[in-house]
Structures are given as structure tokens and as C-alpha cells.
Structure 1
Amino acid sequence: MKYQWLPWSEDRQVQQLRQHQVGRNLLSKLVPTPLAYHALGQPYLPAQPQAGVSITHSRSLVYVAVAPGAIGIDVEAVRPRDFSKLQHAFTPTEWDFLQALAPSLQLTWAWRLWTAKEAVLKLVGCGLTRRPQQVAVNVPTSLTAHFQHHDYQLHVLPTPPGYCGTLALPITVTA
């Protein structure tokens, strides 16, 4: 896994182009093979179809991750947001957990839950084409999540101050 800062631009198109270019550049340093995208935008390596690839960016930060199998990552800048308008993104258990927190912790935890949900949705290849509420994060530990009859292991990404991120991996059961 690698990450890189990039210059901030007020122009959204310029920023997205930079994020895309930096993501591809970082990925080429990890795996020097061509990158392609599935119909819903999930990156993959045609030369290594079993490998998992995930790219995420928020503001001036870009992360890429490659694994032998499926992987999902998401990073977000912890910025003020009225999460009451996004209550529909959380399960009732998650929402109750957020509401029970001290106000000073709610914002960080809301973003932490959000990145966990998005990391799982990226791992399975659908991204935000599915409702985030369909991913149930096990609170308060946030070590696992459940989506469509499967469980996923969650890891907090090491991020710079002001950001939070999650890496999601499938939980494999061996006999």
C-alpha cells in the first residue's frame, strides 16, 4: 500500500485529474503492469486477474493498495458534515451508537463508519451503487462488517492528521 499528497486545486476537474494520475503512478510503483477498470469502475490488473486493487482519494491525499485477493480501501478527510441528513446510510445500531457518543467524537466516528462501508463496497466491486446501510459495521469495535451474507475484516488505515481510512478484506474460513 502507498499514499501520496498532491497539490490542492479549487477546480474540481483539475483535482480529479490529478488524483487519477497520482493513483495510476503510485500503482505502477507497486505493480508495473497495465491497469483496467470493470464496468462499475473497480480497478483490476488484466495480467493478474486474481490480484485485488483498490484506489481511493480525498482532497489532497491518494492511497492505492494491491493484495493477492480482493481488497477495498477508502479514505476521507474528516470535515464538518451534518450526518443527520445521512442517517439513511447507517444501520439503526450504528446510528444509535453515533448518537450515544460525546459530540466531540461523533464526527470522527461517523467518517470512520462511512469509510468502512465504502471500503467493503469497493472490495465487492459495486462501490456506492449499493446503499451504504446494507453494510453493517460491528460497533463499537469496528473490526468486522457484514454485507450480503459475508463477513469482512476491517483495519484502520494509518492516515495523516485530519483524515481517516479503512482497509477491508474478506474473512476466509478454513476447515
Structure 2
Amino acid sequence: MPHDRDRDATGPGIIDIWTWSLDAVDPDLAAMLSSEEIARASRFVQARDCHRFIAGRAGLRRILARYLAVAPRRLGLTYNAFGKPQIAGSNRRQLHFNLSHTETTAMLAVSDHYHVGIDIETIKPLKEDIAGHFFSPKEYMTLKMLAPEAYIQGFYCLWTRKEAFLKALGVGLSLPLDAFDISITAPQLERLDGDADASINWSLFDVDTPSGLVGTVAALTVGNSVRLRYRTDENDLLTGLVARQRHNAPLLHRSDDSPASPS
């Protein structure tokens, strides 16, 4: 699949992919957040987790604000019944987006035309064999057939593909994980219960990620040809996120910790 790095506006054949560091800490980033987000940040126990939450939300707001021509803090965000974030109020561009983060990296998928989901994970040893609990019987059997040295990579490829699809679908875990099959050998939806055309309507893409990560984007493209456009060279946009590396700069007080990873 071709990748485009131009700065043209998104069109029906493009999904923008943004990447930034969550360790690029700047106290000014907190000014972009809503009061609710500030409150959430203040509940983290560890300063590192607070910093990364703020950098993630500031990046999300600054990027989406550019598409919508509004100030980052004025951008209204809401959530559907299953917790998927979306733009509140009148969204004249019908902008769809989804955010994922793992440790020090955040990635955001943005489209004017398609419901999107993105998931990235850090590849690391698994504490236990959890595949049987989260994958369909077909997926699990295919995974178990991999050579030992390929198992972990295969697990995370499949994990991110399933997670990205669920996030694009926007229904969370209300859809049983055995209600659909996704290929391990290629980013492709093979089956979705109750939807005979799902494999045609949905597209999955492996994402170019920093070293040590794996990622997938899913989109309801309805058979249209789509390419990913990587937007990692926008220094004018992300200067506040990537220029300074003040890891120890205190932003807020914390009193809560971060969600668990799949491993």
C-alpha cells in the first residue's frame, strides 16, 4: 500500500497518521486541556503517568484543532455509549479520529470520510498465555501453530488488529471477541457475525511504528482504495510536544495510576 507524506487536505483516499512522544513534557501543554482532563491528570499517582496523559491529550487537541480551525482548548470532545471519543457539537467536516498510546509514544488516526480505529502496543514478553481468552478459536489455533520465535510478534499483530477493529466499530467489548476473525498473516478481517460483506467493507493496515512497537489502523472504507499519510514532520504543529524534553518538570499533583496493558 502506498504511503503519502504530502500536506494536502484529507480526502476519500487518505487517512492521516500522527506520531508524537509522550515524554515531551512542557508545563504549557496543560493549558490546552479541558477542566475535566486537568482533573483526570491530577488523579495519577506517578508524575510520569500524569505527564504522559497531558502530552497525549495536548497532542490530540492540537492536531484536531488544526483540522477544525479552532483553539485546542475550545475543542469539544464527548464520548459515545461505549466510551469512544468523538467531536462534540456541529462537526462540519465530519472528522473521525482515534488515539492510541503505549509507554512513550502516541499515534492518532484522522479521516474526513471513514470511521477509524488505531491500536499500538509495545512488544514485550507475555506474562501468561492470554490468547485463548481474547481471540476466537480460529485465531487462537492459528497463533499456536506459529514457531516459538514468531509467537510474540504474531500475538501483538493479532491483538492490535482486533483492538483497532473494535475501536473503529465503536462498540467496545460489547461485541464478543469470538464474533469475528482476523488474519494473523495479513491485516484483514475474515469474518464478522451477522455481516456477510464485512471483509469487503472494512480495511485494516499495518502501521509504520517506532522500533519495538506494532500497530494497526482499521477503517470502514466500504471497498474504497485508501492509503495512510504519515504526518510526523509537522514541526510547526508539534513544536510544543517534541522540542523540549523536560522529563522532571512537575505539571500537576497526582493520585491515580494508569490502565493496564495487554501483557
Q: Is the 8 A contact 2:166 2:173 kept in 1?
A: yes
Q: Measure the CA separation in 2 of the matches of 1:76 and 1:3.
A: 13
Structure-1 residue corresponding to 2:189: 144
SS at match of 1:118: helix
TM-score (norm 2): 0.58
Structure-2 residue corresponding to 1:154: 204
Q: Measure the CA separation in 2 of the matches of 1:23 and 1:147.
A: 30
Gaps of at least 5 residues in structure 2 are: 1-16, 25-45, 225-263
Gaps of at least 5 residues in structure 1 are: none
Q: Is the 8 A contact 2:161 2:218 kept in 1?
A: yes
Aligned-residue Cα RMSD (Å) equals 2.5
CA positional deviation for 1:49:
6.8
Q: Measure the CA separation in 2 of the matches of 1:83 and 1:49.
A: 44
Q: Deviations over 1:47-75 (max 9, x none)?
A: 23733211111111111111122111111
> Which moves more between the two structures, 48-57 or 125-134?
125-134
> Cα distance 1:109–1:53, how it changes in 2: closer, same or farther (>3 A)?
same
Q: Deviations over 1:110-141 (max 9, x none)?
A: 11111111111111112345443333103432
Letter in 2 for 1:41: G
Q: Measure the CA separation in 1 of the matches of 2:172 and 2:190.
A: 15
SS at match of 1:132: coil
* 1:50 aligned onto 2:94: yes
Counterpart among 8, 17, 21 of residue 5 in structure 1: 21
Counterpart among 214, 219, 229 of residue 169 in structure 1: 219
> Which moves more between the two structures, 24-33 or 104-113?
24-33
> Cα distance 1:134–1:14, how it changes in 2: closer, same or farther (>3 A)?
farther
Q: Measure the CA separation in 2 of the matches of 1:98 and 1:118.
A: 16
Give the number of the structure with larger relative contact order, counting CA–CA contacts within 8 Å between residues 6 or more apart.
2
Matched length: 174
Structure-1 residue corresponding to 2:165: 120
* 1:20 aligned onto 2:70: no
Structure-2 residue corresponding to 1:37: 78
SS at match of 1:54: strand
Q: Measure the CA separation in 2 of the matches of 1:25 and 1:131.
A: 34
Q: Is the 8 A contact 1:157 1:166 kept in 2?
A: yes
Q: Measure the CA separation in 1 of the matches of 2:61 and 2:159.
A: 24
SS at match of 1:113: helix
Q: Deviations over 1:55-96 (max 9, x none)?
A: 111111111111122111111111211351341111111111
CA positional deviation for 1:23:
2.6
Q: Measure the CA separation in 2 of the matches of 1:42 and 1:155.
A: 20
Letter in 2 for 1:79: K
> Cα distance 1:75–1:32, how it changes in 2: closer, same or farther (>3 A)?
farther
> Cα distance 1:65–1:32, how it changes in 2: closer, same or farther (>3 A)?
farther
Q: Is the 8 A contact 1:156 1:165 kept in 2?
A: yes
Q: Highest CA radius of gyration, 1 or 2?
A: 2
